[in-house]
Chains A and B, each alone.
Chain A
Amino acid sequence: MALQQFKEIGKSASIQWRVIYALLMREILTRYGRHNIGFLWLFVEPMLFTTGVTVLWTLAKAVHGSSLPIVAFALTGYSSVLLWRNMPSRCIGAIEPNLALMYHRNVRVIDVFLARLLLEAGGATISFIVLSLFYIYIGWLEPPVDVLTVVQGWVLLAWFGAALAMFLGAVAEKSELVDRLWHPFSYIMFPLSGAAYMVDALPASAQKYALYVPMVNGVEIVRDGYFGNQIRAHYDLSYLLAWCMALSVLALAQVIVVSREITPE
Chain B
Amino acid sequence: MIICSQWGLLLLLIAMALLLGVLILPKKDPVLPTRLIRIACISVILSYLCLSICFLSNDFNVSYVLQHSSLLLPWYYKCCAVWGGHEGSILLWMSILSMWTLVLSYQMSALQPDFGLRVLIVLAVILLGLVLFVVFTSNPFTLQFGEVASSGRDLNPLLQDPGFLLHPPMLYLGYVGYAIPFAFAMSALWLGQIDNQALRLLKPWAMLSWCCLTFGITLGSWWAYRELGWGGFWFWDPVENASVMPWLAGTALLHAVIISEKQKTFIAWTIMLAITAFALSLMGTFLVRSGVLTSVHAFAVDPKRGLYILVFLMVMMTWAFVMYISRAHHLFVNKPLYWFSRESGILINNILLFVMMLVVLLGTLYPLIIDGLGLGKISVGAPYFNETLFPIVLLLLLMMGLVIQVKWLKDDYVAVLKRAGLQLLIAFAIAMIWLTLEFHVLKPQVLLALTLSFWVIVSLCFSLYQRWHSPKSLSYWAMWSAHIGFALSIIGITITSTFGVEQDVKMQPKEVVTVKHYQVQFDKEYPLKGPNYHGTEIHFHIKKEGFQSDVYPQKRIYDVGNMVMTDADISYNLWRDIYVALGSPIGNTDWSVRLYYKPMIRWIWLGGILMTLGGGLAFLNYIRLYFGKKVC
The answer to whether A and B interact is no
